[in-house]
A and B are shown apart, each in its own frame.
Chain A
Amino acid sequence: MQVQQRLKKELSNLSDYVILAKVSSKNYQLINLEIIRHLISVDNIPGVYVTLNKPYSTLKEIFKKEKINLDMIIFIDAVTQTQESKVKKTKDCLFIGSPEKLSDISLAMDQAVRAIPSDKRFLFFDSLSTLLIYNRAGTIVKFIHFIITKMREWKVIGIIISLEKESNEELIDKLTQFCDKSIDFG
């Protein structure tokens, strides 16, 4: 509930925004859930969830348990290993095969966002910290800058999750300047 109020307070005067949400590993799941709940159940906004952290099957279970409408979300899963790391599509989710395939992630995000027939849409990127495990910091800065530019072009609400401590501070500083707001959820 605190997260909901915080989101309302911080984002009330912004329409299309890109935020960098810093969360501690302890609160990671709770904050993610609350943000998604706020977007889907409170604001009734459909969107795209890009997961590099938890596999789609796990997320599905969590969201179902929390009664979050999965039909309002297009899932892009870059963490579940597919056969030969190839792209695999099911009716609920697109599996990229590997978090290193940034070109495929970008392409999938572009197509998914454009497929949503609504003026208000969101793009939830979970998470920056996982990207760091698989890619170099320089590549990530370029990639995130590209994503943020795209988010503005698509006119979506962009949320980039970053785990505190696990992310390079210098990187976070660089990325904060690209975002409209950086919220520390702790």
Chain B
Amino acid sequence: MKFNNFMQVLVELVVIFIGIFTIFRIVKDIEIAVGLFSLSFGILGIIWTTLAVKSLSKGSSLRTYAISFLFCLITILLFSIWNLLIKLFNWHNIMIYPAYFFITISYIIFVFTSYKIHKLGKEFGFEIQGSRIKKLLKKKKKS
């Protein structure tokens, strides 16, 4: 079982390496190649987050957080796509502004998502109860 897992990770790493190598081999421009490389990871992130949203219970806090995170990824991806288009077509002036818009929106959603995780931590954290039990157990041990 462990050997199989190791082989799976190894094969995945080789595939990723071949993918990166191919991108950099076909696309000569480093900036565009890096853009394409980041895009592929962004898409993978979106796929995984979508799968997580689908499997989490409707209305659950974790699902709401996953949805917010999905929006962050989408806006970041849009920013990367737009940046890539700017590079590919040598856009100037007004065509650059949507990139600013996408990055601003992603930061706003990031703040919202961070607030969600902060709330989640507050709701699902049991630090106070844990220390209460610790004190009680100590007291019982002494007596």
Give the interface of A toward B (CB within 8 A): 44, 46, 69, 71-72, 74, 85, 87-89, 91, 94, 97-98, 100-104, 107-108, 111-112, 115-118
B126 within 8 A of A: yes
Q: Say whether B62 contacts A107, CB under 8 Å.
A: yes
Complex formed: what's the CA distance from A104 to B64 in Å?
11
In the complex, what residues of B have CB within 8 A of residue A108's CB?
A: 124
Which of these, B57, B123, B126, B128, contacts A100 with CB under 8 Å? B57
**Which A residue sits closest to B62, measured CB to CB?**
A103
Cβ of B136 < 8 Å from any Cβ of A? yes
In whole angstroms, what is the CA distance A5 to B87 when docked?
77
**Residues in B whose Cβ lies below 8 Å from that of A107:** 60-62, 124
Q: How far is the CA of A46 from the CA of B139 in the complex (A)?
A: 13
For A97, the chain B residues whose CB sits under 8 A away are 59
Chain B residue at minimal CB-CB distance from A118: B137
Q: Is the CB of B123 within 8 A of A87?
A: yes
Complex CA–CA separation, A108 to B61 (angstroms): 11
Contact B123 A115 (CB under 8 A): no
Report whether over half of chain A's contact residues are helix, strand or loop; otherwise say mixed: mixed
B61–A117 touching, CB < 8 Å: no
On whether A94 and B124 interact (CB within 8 A), knowing A74-B129, A100-B57, A101-B59, the answer reads yes
Distance in Å: Cβ of B130 to nearest Cβ of chain A: 4
* A112 and B126 form a contact (CB under 8 A): yes
B interface residues, how many (CB within 8 angstroms): 24
CA distance A117 to B126 in the complex (A): 11
Question: CB of B140 within 8 A of chain A?
Answer: yes
Residues B92-143 near A (CB distance < 8 A): 122-134, 136-137, 140
Collect the chain A residues with CB atoms within 8 Å of residue B43's CB: none
B88 to chain A, nearest CB (A): 41
At the interface, yes or no: B27 with Cβ under 8 Å from chain A? no
Give Cα A118 to B131, complex, Å: 11
Whole-angstrom distance between the alpha carbons of A111 and B127 in the complex? 9
Inside 8 A of A89's CB, which chain B residues have their CB?
Answer: 122-123
A124 CB to closest chain B CB (Å) equals 15
Could you give, for residues 2-41 of chain B, a 1 whenever the CB lies within 8 Å of some chain A CB and a 0 otherwise?
0000000000000000000000000000000000000000
B133 x A104 contact (CB < 8 A): no
A-B contact pairs, 8 of them (CB 8 A): A44-B140, A74-B129, A91-B128, A94-B124, A104-B62, A111-B125, A118-B133, A118-B137
Q: Which residues of A contact B136 (CB under 8 A)?
A: 46, 69, 71-72
Contact between chains at B137 and A46 (CB < 8 Å): yes
